[in-house]
Amino acid sequence: MSSAINSKGGEDSPFITPDSKDFYFFFTPDVSKEASLQLTDEVTGIYWSKSDDDDWTEPERVVLQERDKLSLDDCLFAQGNVIWFCSAREGNMREIDIYIAYLSDGKWTDWVNAGELLNVDYGLGELHITSGGNQIYFHPEKAGGMDIWVTNKSDGVWQEPELIISQFAGEASLDNESNIYFTHHFYKDAIMLEADIYVAYRK
């Protein structure tokens, strides 16, 4: 992507809305810094840029915490006026929890923890929610993020997850035909050698 997005720092966890107009990503100015230092640098976090004809606008930091409190946010997924994101902050149930925030007057606000079921029981990591909002595809962090699971919502309640792709697979994303694009990691002697993108077609 252009210099409006890429910099001398580190960009990661990209997400683009289906209409290709809004682009979100994680940025940190120094990838060598430990997370504890990124937490307090007042720069590291989620950024947003909007499509501007042939390029992208200057990215703006997405504020998802009270100004007098600290958080380290990443892996955003947006759907309409709702976003889901990973966050390390005070009051978490685990080291990194999934939170939800809502768009109000052009700003993301009313952030709330996604709850014990999704954070503790299911251990959600990076996720993809289908357009109807009734399925979450995810890799559980407590399993090392190396399998892809799906959970369905029925009568407003998330059901028991089902393992659908294993192993060394994660970061699932679905297209409109429900084909699953995911990262497959290659290991030898417990050392990751490389990672490639795969697709599993829905029949």
Domain end (from 92, 114, 136): 114
Dump pLDDT digits (tens) for 146-162: 788 999 999 989 999 99
Q: Are residues 165 and 183 in the same domain?
A: yes
Final residue belonging to a domain, choices 114, 137, 165: 114
Cα 108 to the center of its chain, rounded Å: 16
pTM of the model: 0.83
Q: Do residues 12 and 85 share a domain?
A: yes
Residues 109/102, Cβ–Cβ less than 8 Å = yes
> Same structural domain for residues 170 and 100?
no
Mean pLDDT of 135-140: 90
Does 101 lie in the same domain as 8? yes
Number of domains in the chain: 2
Residue 164 and residue 138 in one domain:
yes
Tell me if 164 sits within 8 A of 143, measured CB to CB: no
3-class DSSP state for residue 33? coil
How would you class 33 by CB atoms within 10 Å of its CB: exposed for 0-12, middle for 13-18, buried for 19 or more? middle
Token pair in block for residue 38: 């990124």
pLDDT band at 143 (very low <50, low <70, confident <90, very high): low
Mean pLDDT of 38-65: 88
Regarding whether 110 and 26 lie in a shared domain, the answer is yes
User: Is residue 10 located within the same domain as residue 36?
Assistant: yes
- Of 114, 143, 164, which one is at a domain's C-terminal end? 114
My answer on whether 108 and 193 are in the same domain is no
Instruction: Please write the tens of the pLDDT for every residue from 54-102.
Output: 788 999 999 898 888 889 998 899 988 999 999 999 999 999 999 999 9
Domain housing 177: 122-203
